[in-house]
Structure 1
Amino acid sequence: MTLRLLAVHAHPDDESSKGAATYAYYRSRGDEVMVVSCTGGERGDVQNPALERLPMAERDMAGLRRIEMARAQRVIGFQHRWLGYVDSGLPENDEPLPFGCFAQVPLGIAAEPLVAVIREFRPQVLVTYDENGGYPHPDHIRSHELSMYALEAAADPERYPAAGAPWRVTKVYYDRIFNRPRMEAMYQALLEADPESALLERITETRVWASTMPDLATTHVPVGDFLDLRDEALRSHASQVPPDSAFFFWPNDLQQAAWPYEDFQLASSLVETELPETDLFAGIVDDHEAIA
């Protein structure tokens, strides 16, 4: 039985900061992984002042982010699809969303390409964000809404008949990689290993932020052997991830010892499974045929 994982993300680079080690782990097992990027990240700002391709970023951010995405894809080895929607940006001070952006496209229209991907790839597991988008970016919230809408539609033979034979996804997960127990475990491990470490002060803000979050993770995927690949994928998105990014604050050997997992919340399942899990495919044992 071929196991297939589909991850739906808002922008290129989201897949590397929110699940790359998990995708590398499943690829190492021989499972198939596909990442969907809903938008091209066209409205992203350059976050790396030392970016070598700064002239290209200023001239063609969309083109640069496609190059970066292709590099991250090669690092991890997943399949990839662009849905083709335009980045909504992050409007401030109650500014309206840009005309025609992803967050403004009606779900009934926006869902068809994702329904087609689901029916073609036939994943047993889909990973996306929760109803808050993980954080309240309009494209992340829309990615959640689109994922849930397309999941239902993909299983219904009466909807989008031109998008392929119906397929029902067995399990749905929300990303919970940034969570309180993980941050606390790594903080305490660093405090014990090096109580004078300058990192302790640098990560205080992240620790305080994480302390306010409920612990919703149900599934802890063992990814300790794939943290270096995750970091390489992150660095592929050089316009968005500077060398001194907070993503790299924690030494990987410390992470392997303190919290060698990426964490997810089981949102729905058509099969029985015992929580907590260590495998997104837990409970999936029979061949999963397309709905007649």
Structure 2
Amino acid sequence: MPSSSPLRLMAVHAHPDDESSKAAATLAGYAARGVDVLVVTCTGGEAGDIINPAMDRPEVRRRLPQVRREELAAAVEILGVRQQGLGFVDSGWPGGDPPPPLPPGTFAALPLSEAVGPLVAVVRDFRPHVMITYDERGGYPHPDHIRAHEISRAAFTLAADGAAHPSLGPPWQPSKLYYVHEWCGAKMRVLHDALIAEGLPSPYHDWLREWTPERDVTHRITTRVPCADYFDRRDDALRAHRTQIDPDSHWFAVPLALQRELWPTEDFELASSVVPTSLPEDDLFAGIDAVDDSAPAAGSTVARPAPGPRPAPAATPQLR
């Protein structure tokens, strides 16, 4: 997968739809500014349920894996990014207390040493300057989300080690690894209070009631990326996952104008960096003077995009 862009961003996600519900506006914003953005999807979401009642039909259930691939293709087209799958099998959400063992051969049931290899290969091929994924809790404790964190953390280091997986291509060291923090207590409180003040229903009552200091990640956020101009594109990409997203659900409860005014960023935690940077940041590429390693003249440098207002998005493609 050769790249002609001087800066490259890789987002590692567990299932189709995760790329649209976590940091999607950031991906769309960087892509619109010329950054080469690749979404890596670890599984096909085969074990997922149909969440949207309007899509819960026999003909959809019969071909759900194919439908989810079609939804993913539509979503990444809307975001303006590329996508590659790792081909692992969805582990499902285990019910019960204690939960039963994961199905053999599924993503989270594989040994970490086996699961990390395909991602190392993609990292060495795509050569991202920045990787993003979930924190050690997976954002929420789905076993595939936790495993996506584990292989991302491992691949960030192993891809640079020429002695590790030598058959998977020349070594490459990404410069920075981030965890996306889509929701934090402060964000929920700000949006909840604004909805109540406007006389609108808030979907955050129960979440805030159950939120505990141990769950909150506000204090871990190091990097807030302005991306409000791309919130509409994020929502369109999310709606493309029609089996997973009810268009009348909480995802769309907060008017875009309120979101843009009160919380115009998507938020991240800098987990690892091999380049110096100053915190807090407003740019995932802060501190990176990217080498255009696809150009014939080795060692030439290019300026990274400056943080600040994004250009207006192009017209959103129609869902197919």
1:204 and 2:205 correspond: yes
Q: Which residue of 2 aligns with 1:152?
A: 157
Residues 134-177 of structure 1: CA deviation (Å, up to 9, x unaligned)? 11111001111111122221101112222111000110000112
Q: Which residue of 2 aligns with 1:271?
A: 275
Structure 1 position 210, deviation (Å) = 4.8
Paired residues, number:
285
Contact 2:156 2:177 in 1 (8 A): no
- Please show how residues 1-292 of structure 1 align to structure 2 within 5 Å: 2-51=6-55, 54-93=57-96, 94-192=99-197, 194=198, 196-197=199-200, 199-200=201-202, 202-210=203-211, 212=213, 213-215=216-218, 216-287=220-291
2-structure distance, mates of 1:171, 1:242:
35
What stretches of structure 1 of length at least 5 have no aligned partner?
none
Q: Which amino acid aligns with 1:244?
A: D
Residue aligned with 2:114, SS: helix
2-structure distance, mates of 1:121, 1:115:
10
2-structure distance, mates of 1:286, 1:43:
39
1-structure distance, mates of 2:107, 2:40:
14
Q: Which amino acid aligns with 2:289?
A: V
Q: Residues 57, 71 of structure 1: CA spacing in aligned structure 2 closer, same or farther, 3 A cutoff? A: same
Structure 1 position 107, deviation (Å) = 1.9
Structure 1 position 188, deviation (Å) = 3.0
2-structure distance, mates of 1:174, 1:269:
12
Contact 1:173 1:265 in 2 (8 A): yes
Q: Residues 95, 256 of structure 1: CA spacing in aligned structure 2 closer, same or farther, 3 A cutoff? A: same
Q: Which amino acid aligns with 1:264?
A: F
Residues 54-104 of structure 1: CA deviation (Å, up to 9, x unaligned)? 333311211111010000011001110010000000111121111110011
Residue aligned with 1:264, SS: strand
Displaced runs of 4 or more, over 4 A: none
Contact 1:222 1:260 in 2 (8 A): yes
Residues 29-69 of structure 1: CA deviation (Å, up to 9, x unaligned)? 11011000100000000001111x73333112111110100
Q: Residues 259, 210 of structure 1: CA spacing in aligned structure 2 closer, same or farther, 3 A cutoff? A: farther
1-structure distance, mates of 2:108, 2:29:
32
1-structure distance, mates of 2:222, 2:211:
17
TM-score when scaled to structure 1?
0.93
Residue aligned with 2:67, SS: helix
1-structure distance, mates of 2:86, 2:76:
16
Residue aligned with 1:27, SS: helix
Contact 1:128 1:147 in 2 (8 A): yes
TM-score when scaled to structure 2?
0.85
Q: Residues 151, 95 of structure 1: CA spacing in aligned structure 2 closer, same or farther, 3 A cutoff? A: same
Q: Which amino acid aligns with 2:67?
A: L
Q: Which amino acid aligns with 2:110?
A: V
Residue aligned with 1:265, SS: strand
